[in-house]
Structure 1
Amino acid sequence: MSQDYICERCGEPAKVAHHKRYITRANINDANITLNWDNLEALCQDCHNKEHHKRAPKLRYGFDADGRIVPPIQKNN
Structure 2
Amino acid sequence: MSKQNYICERCGGLASICHHIIYLNAENYKNPYVSLNHDHLEALCQTCHNQEHFGTPAIGEGLQFDKDGNIIKV
- Superposition TM-score tier, normalisation by shorter sequence: 0.5 to 0.7
* 1:1-77 paired onto structure 2 within 5 Å: 4-54=5-55
Mark the runs of 5 or more structure 2 residues left unpaired by the alignment.
56-74
Residue 29 of structure 1 deviates from its aligned partner by 0.6
Deviations 1:25-77 (A, max 9, x none): 100110011000000000000000000012xxxxxxxxxxxxxxxxxxxxxxx
Mark the runs of 5 or more structure 1 residues left unpaired by the alignment.
55-77
TM-score by length of 1: 0.64
Aligned residues: 51
Percent identity, aligned pairs only? 51
Match for 1:14: what amino acid? A
Alpha-carbon RMSD: 0.8
* Structure with larger Rg: 1
